[in-house]
Chains A and B, each alone.
Chain A
């Protein structure tokens, strides 16, 4: 069944406390060279068939429900 992925990320200008905490832990764990971590969410939606209509609907549900566009950005893509 085709899978549509919706990635939701905090907007760049919004502080991401969880990403910061992960970044802060990296040197303690011996990982160096990472300068920034942002934490977001990934949704995997299965649909019977990829159609323009189905994608438009997913775009709409991502905008109204999966993401809060006041604080988050989202990207919808079809996974092959």
Chain B
């Protein structure tokens, strides 16, 4: 499958995300924020970083980048979209996912190997995992505190739309230890931790993140 990875001004993790896509057995297509062209990709990743220096609010300026017109339109029609960290912030700013991401409750940037539990394996990006599987992937954020009003949280929990939850430590004060969520259709996933940094043993904390990059192919093959 062809998976597009969009580079914005200030994106950091696009190259790692492209590499993770290839390690996961898919073709990575580099996409540019200023284009109005998804180049016929089957799915899109909004990678991590500090697009536009996090000015205004994290993801708020990128959300209006030219290519986001096509991403938002595609996502509403079922195009699989994975937003990691800054990408997750873009997804909430785009209202493709509910809630918001605030500064960590302890105010410090945090970087650690984070244990997670995968709680929804029916999304386009998580079908390679088993329900309740525990994984460890790097986490690095300054504004990763997931918040939403009580009704939204109740709906997310009730509909099983919490994709991943922090285990052992809540690193940023996120409500209900939420690390990642999905939309109603399950094609859009936002995730604060970084699975793209955990796809090869060479670089440290294991290969637990790989499932996010093999799920799409498995889902298509299973059809």
User: In the assembly, what is the distance between CA of A14 and CA of B106, in Å?
Assistant: 15
With an 8 A cutoff between CB atoms, is B100 at the interface? Answer: yes
- CB neighbours (8 Å) of A21 from chain B are 107
Where chain B touches its partner, the secondary structure class is loop
Which of B60, B95, B102 interacts with A15 by CB under 8 Å? B102
Q: A70-B99, A70-B100, A71-B100 are in contact. Are A17 and B107 (CB under 8 A)?
A: yes
- CB neighbours (8 Å) of B93 from chain A are 68
A14-B100, A17-B103 are known contacts; what are 11 more A-B pairs with Cβ within 8 Å?
A: A15-B145, A17-B104, A17-B105, A17-B106, A17-B107, A17-B173, A18-B103, A65-B60, A68-B57, A68-B60, A70-B98
Q: How far, in Å, is A49 (CB) from chain B's closest CB?
A: 26
User: In the assembly, what is the distance between CA of A18 and CA of B108, in Å?
Assistant: 11
- CB neighbours (8 Å) of B57 from chain A are 68
- CB neighbours (8 Å) of A17 from chain B are 102-107, 145, 173
Q: How far, in Å, is B97 (CB) from chain A's closest CB?
A: 10
Contact A13 B149 (CB under 8 A): yes
Interface bits B82-100 vs A (CB < 8 Å: 1, else 0): 0000000000110100111
Contact B102 A71 (CB under 8 A): yes
With an 8 A cutoff between CB atoms, is B147 at the interface? Answer: yes
Task: Please report which residues of chain A, range 44-80, place their CB below 8 angstroms from some CB of chain B when the two chains form the complex.
Answer: 65-66, 68, 70-71
- CB neighbours (8 Å) of A65 from chain B are 56, 60, 64
